[in-house]
Structure 1
Amino acid sequence: MDPTRPGRFPSCPFRSLTGFDCPGCGSLRALHELIHAHVAAAADYNLLLVAFLPYAAVVWLRAVTGRTGRRGIPRWWGPRLALIVVVLWTVLRNLPVFGGVLAA
């Protein structure tokens, strides 16, 4: 089913209440476009999701292969960094300056 057709899926509760896009707004449409190999269209719907998927694939591969040794940032910084990125993404995508570039 094509998620871009109206009436097929429920609307975002955050967007219904506030009028702003949440960090996940456009994710279903972005995944639909990625499945059809339209990367630019997917990035237009939700750039954060498209940027996150390669990282998620690497983390998954490391877990499956047993190479879970931590390098880089300390373990306790992971959730904090994720929260910072999600909050910044939410603010940026709702700024009028970026409305045509980042908004879903």
Structure 2
Amino acid sequence: MAAPLGVLAGVAAAFAYVGTVDPNAPGHYPVCPLLHFTGLYCPGCGGLRSAYAVVHGEFGTALGLNALAVAGYGLFAVLWTVWLVRAARGRPFTVRLRPAHWWAVGAVVLAFAVVRNLPFGAALAP
């Protein structure tokens, strides 16, 4: 139980920090280098602001800032819950991803990055 609870403590601390130190205020976090130098949104742009919105219960705002990050938060919550239940029952928890899974994840992230920078994908831009 120590490992999943330790991970939860770390994630909770990170979200608590982001929830306390507003990423919308300049000067607290570094600027995205891709956005700064090219004007293009990377797949992570808006991720801190979406985490801030999630902490404050503004889920619609969070989705508008970075839908991929919000999906990642949800996926993490599901996997962490399964991990905790299995740990409580004394059973091991492993996630085995084949190379095809990694390629699919990469394709989704790449498609998200491309679409959010096109005019018809403006709804995905932060």
With structure 1 as the length reference, what TM-score do the two structures score?
0.83
More helix as a share of residues: 2
1:26 is aligned with what amino acid? G
1:58 is displaced (CA, Å) by: 1.6
CA RMSD, Structure 1 to Structure 2 (Å):
2.0
1:21-62, CA deviations, whole angstroms, 9 ceiling, x for partnerless residues? 000000000000000000001111101111222212222223
Residue 40 of structure 1 is matched in structure 2 by 60
Q: How does 1:7-46 map to 2 (within 5 A)?
A: 7-46=27-66
Percent identity over the alignment is: 37
1:87 is displaced (CA, Å) by: 0.2
Aligned residue-pair number: 101
Runs (4+) of structure 1 exceeding 4 A deviation are none
Query: 1 CA distance for matches of 2:104 and 2:85?
Result: 25
Q: Unaligned regions of 5+ residues in structure 2, if any?
A: 1-20
1:60-81, CA deviations, whole angstroms, 9 ceiling, x for partnerless residues? 223333364769xx62322111
